[in-house]
Chains A and B, each alone.
Chain A
Amino acid sequence: MASPAPRPIPLAVALDGPPAAPRRFDAAGHLRLVRLAERGTLDFVTLGDTFGRPGPDALAVLSRVAPATTRIGLVPTVTTTHTEPFHVATSIATLDWVSGGRAGWQPDVSLTAAEAALFGRRPAPAPEAAWREAGEVAEVAARLWDSWEDDAEIRDRASGRFIDRDKLHYADYSGEFFAVRGPSTVPRPPQGRPPVVLDATGTGPGGATVRQVAAAHADVALVRAQDPATASAARDDLRARARALGRDPDRLLVLASVAIELYASGDAVALAELIGDWYTDGAADGFHLRPADPARDLGLLVDGTVPVLQHRCLLRRFYPGATLREHLGLPRPANRHARAREVQR
């Protein structure tokens, strides 16, 4: 019986190291890992961040890595509770420019009193409120990324105009937590809107809000799961929420986020079996692997797990596209203002 050729499984990896703090904070360690992941043709790496953990700013690390890599997607966590939404949006847009369209963004919240004390601006928020605010930051980021139409720059000598200002738009966002006028100071990034990757596991406090924010704003949802049934149930829930919000659920990829520890090549092959089985069962659209120790596990993953999946035609052998959206099969979004003008015609 003929079946359609399997489409490659989106596969991503977390670079977050073991909790013991390293003594050096230069770029070499991270660069080695990202290059290794790129050799395995993984779709993207994530690098988590909080204001509490030792180590450099995740966005800075992946900006430093970007020119030294060519294809792999780069998805830093940038938190939304104590940061300025305008800076968050322009920084991610800039990562997209310096990486040639390989940026993503993982929003996260800062819930602890210790993090709040580092800023002294307001007390630690309740989880539900913090995630509502994260949703607002994602909304304003999307508006700022769309605030320049793609063809706004004209350099017209006759009229002396560098831009067509009718193609720049205010964000004019005013929500429960903040207001942003716009437009962005950064032109629309290469991907239009860098993909938003969100941990939508939603089993903690404020979990329903997390799911709702993911359904509304995420391009990729991560669901921490130890069995396919859990992943599958979360995927169904997220797709139903997206549909209820008027979104095409196929534009929301749900990746099972799986903690892994690999000690030998046999472990790597077993992981490939597990990925193949879950995927065949429809438990997830792809996988986000969280190595306990990336320095140890990533080599085995790339040299052991990846070839098995490639052999089964579940994973591509090279990057056919250039941008993260192309790797993930997510179309470049039309600019909302350009689309509105099209509709008016």
Chain B
Amino acid sequence: MTAAPHPSDPSTPRQLHLAAHFPGVNNTTVWDGAPPATGRGAGRRPSLGSQIRFDSFVHLARTAERGLFDFFFLAEGLRLREHKGRIHDLDVVGRPESLTVLTALAAVTDRLGLAATVNATFNEPYELARRLSSLDHLSDGRAAWNVVTTSDAFTGENFRRGGYLDRADRYTRAAEFVAAARRLWDSWDGPAPDPVRHRGPHFDLAGPFTLPRSPQGHPVIIQAGDSPEGRDFAAATADVIFTRHSGLAAGQAFYADVKGRLAAHGRRPDDLKIMPGVTFVLGDTAAEAQEHAAEIRRRQISPQNALLAAEQIWGVDLSSYDPDGPLPDIDPDPHAELAQGRVRIADPAAVVAGWREVSRAKGLSLRETVIETTGRQSFVGTPQAVAAEMAAFVRARAADGFILVPHLTPDGLDPFVDRVVPLLQERGVFRTEYTGSTLRSHLGLPEAVTPVWQGEAS
């Protein structure tokens, strides 16, 4: 073990930050059959644990804390996804409510940050500010909030607020939501709360908050999404941006763009950490890792899932087509609404054209084409190669760290913590112990934010 390098020492290599995303409801999770046949996981007990039982969350969170990760991340779904008017049944379905399960995890971890995705469209500032502050108090300063928005009436059918929020209003509502929450978090900094009065286009609230400033002052704010509005929102508001992973050059361009937006908001480049969501596959040799990655892709894209992926692009029923046969010979319907609760495909015709080219060039079936063109693994290789590549991304300012999405619940993170983290530590790019107690300190931010609002003049 090497001593923890001091971040301000110019000879210290750039440090990376790591977070763990619970697998569960997304199409990277492998949930069926036997554990992968290759790699260090071979021969171990089947690792296809429950996506809902608490012990799965405990295992992954404790593994992340054993690996000295910055935080543990939970996504959110407020309506089960549908396809062709029926509930989507080909991936993991169902998960616990984020804030409640994270508050419980505070009891079985000590230092790990606890990040909840919570929608700003279907909540009210006072209640959510209180729930987040409660998590920060009850975890001794480890709370984070991933601010997301939804505009679709489909999800709204589960909520009083209902219906549609114009896309342009999503981020203005989110920005006003966060501003109101910050005022509430700052409003009890002395012996008693100062009543808050917030009045804006989206919210009109007045009264005292029920909790004094929490250990971090404000929970860490995370923003997920790469759109121009999302980048501006992050530059103005967020401590972490959870972004899509891409190649080194594209990552550098995104990094420079987002960091360049900070100065306009009076912020320094280090005030916002850029963390792409990534997958990883390890092997004892490069060839073994590649083989293992291909196996995982086959397991993620079942024949049924390949057809479904194609139907989402084509926008029409393709159940009469053979997933092991050629691509459908018809044109996509650009106006179809087969899928609900998913991100829409912007240009289906272009996607189909790309698929046809891949299929023709490599002689691939429909399913093989889907496997080839969608969701590539981010880091595939030996532990040494993965550690080197991750460090290179951070050194080249394409990222400040990574949010890892394992394939397996609950012990998909174990191989990374056992085999890659020690190599990152040897390289001097990752901590060898937690030096602070709050999530903000793990992220290299001040332990607690100072109040930005000093109460309303009476």
A residues neighboring B (CB under 8 Å):
23, 25-27, 51-57, 59-61, 63-68, 82-87, 90-91, 93-95, 97-100, 114-115, 117-121, 148, 153, 155-157, 159-165, 168, 177-183, 185-187
Contact B138 A56 (CB under 8 A): yes
Contact A98 B206 (CB under 8 A): no
Contact B87 A168 (CB under 8 A): yes
Question: How near does chain A come to B61, taking the closest CB pair, in angstroms?
Answer: 11
Q: How many B residues, CB 8 Å from partner?
A: 65
| Cβ–Cβ < 8 Å partners of B78 in chain A | 86, 185
What 3 pairs across the A-B complex have the smallest Cβ distances? Answer: A160-B304, A56-B134, A120-B204
Q: State A54–B134 Cα separation when bound (angstroms).
A: 11
Contact A94 B101 (CB under 8 A): yes
| Cβ–Cβ < 8 Å partners of A52 in chain B | 210
Contact B159 A185 (CB under 8 A): no
Given the known A-B contacts A57-B130, A185-B80, are A67 and B94 also in contact in the complex, defined by CB atoms under 8 Å?
no
Contact B158 A163 (CB under 8 A): no
| Chain A residue nearest in CB terms to B214 | A25
Contact A117 B207 (CB under 8 A): yes
Q: State A114–B157 Cα separation when bound (angstroms).
A: 29
11 A-B pairs within 8 Å (CB atoms) are namely A25-B134, A26-B140, A53-B210, A56-B133, A60-B134, A64-B106, A67-B104, A67-B107, A93-B96, A157-B32, A185-B80
CB contacts under 8 Å to A, within B22-61, are 31-33, 48, 52-54, 58
| Cβ–Cβ < 8 Å partners of A117 in chain B | 205-207
Contact A163 B160 (CB under 8 A): no
Question: How near does chain A come to B335, taking the closest CB pair, in angstroms?
Answer: 24
Classify the interface of chain B: helix, strand, loop or mixed.
loop
| Cβ–Cβ < 8 Å partners of B137 in chain A | 25-26, 56
Contact B97 A90 (CB under 8 A): yes
Question: How near does chain A come to B29, taking the closest CB pair, in angstroms?
Answer: 9
Interface digits, B152-171 against A, CB 8 Å rule (1 contact, 0 not)? 00000111111000000000
Given the known A-B contacts A84-B160, A162-B93, A165-B86, are A55 and B211 also in contact in the complex, defined by CB atoms under 8 Å?
yes
Question: How near does chain A come to B212, taking the closest CB pair, in angstroms?
Answer: 7
| Cβ–Cβ < 8 Å partners of A157 in chain B | 32-33
Q: State A177–B138 Cα separation when bound (angstroms).
A: 34
Given the known A-B contacts A26-B137, A60-B100, A160-B305, are A186 and B122 also in contact in the complex, defined by CB atoms under 8 Å?
no
Within 8 Å of chain A (Cβ to Cβ): is B453? no
| Cβ–Cβ < 8 Å partners of A59 in chain B | 100
| Chain A residue nearest in CB terms to B58 | A67
CB contacts under 8 Å to A, within B83-119, are 86-87, 89-97, 99-101, 103-108
Contact A67 B108 (CB under 8 A): yes
Contact B89 A86 (CB under 8 A): no
| Cβ–Cβ < 8 Å partners of A57 in chain B | 130-131, 134
| Chain B residue nearest in CB terms to A58 | B134
| Chain B residue nearest in CB terms to A27 | B138
Within 8 Å of chain A (Cβ to Cβ): is B79? yes
| Cβ–Cβ < 8 Å partners of A55 in chain B | 210-211
Within 8 Å of chain A (Cβ to Cβ): is B302? yes
CB contacts under 8 Å to A, within B347-378, are none
Most chain A CB within 10 A, of B92, B108, B124, is at B124
Contact B52 A187 (CB under 8 A): yes
| Chain B residue nearest in CB terms to A182 | B158
- Which listed residue (B97, B106, B134) contacts A186, Cβ 8 A? B97
- Which listed residue (A91, A118, A119) contacts B100, Cβ 8 A? A91
Contact A181 B126 (CB under 8 A): no
Within 8 Å of chain A (Cβ to Cβ): is B127? yes
Q: State A27–B304 Cα separation when bound (angstroms).
A: 47
Contact B210 A63 (CB under 8 A): no
Q: State A285–B344 Cα separation when bound (angstroms).
A: 56
| Chain A residue nearest in CB terms to B308 | A160
Contact B206 A94 (CB under 8 A): no
Contact A161 B210 (CB under 8 A): no
Q: State A93–B204 Cα separation when bound (angstroms).
A: 31
Question: How near does chain A come to B279, taking the closest CB pair, in angstroms?
Answer: 19
Contact A118 B96 (CB under 8 A): no
Given the known A-B contacts A64-B103, A86-B78, A168-B87, are A120 and B94 also in contact in the complex, defined by CB atoms under 8 Å?
no
Q: State A93–B102 Cα separation when bound (angstroms).
A: 14
Q: State A155–B32 Cα separation when bound (angstroms).
A: 6
Contact B205 A51 (CB under 8 A): no
Most chain A CB within 10 A, of B97, B101, B107, B205, is at B97
Contact B97 A119 (CB under 8 A): no
CB contacts under 8 Å to A, within B133-156, are 133-135, 137-140
Contact B207 A114 (CB under 8 A): yes
Contact B87 A165 (CB under 8 A): yes
Contact A179 B157 (CB under 8 A): yes
Contact B159 A84 (CB under 8 A): yes
Within 8 Å of chain A (Cβ to Cβ): is B321? no
Question: How near does chain A come to B400, taking the closest CB pair, in angstroms?
Answer: 30
Contact A63 B104 (CB under 8 A): yes
| Cβ–Cβ < 8 Å partners of B305 in chain A | 160
Question: How near does chain B come to A37, taking the closest CB pair, in angstroms?
Answer: 17
Contact B94 A185 (CB under 8 A): yes
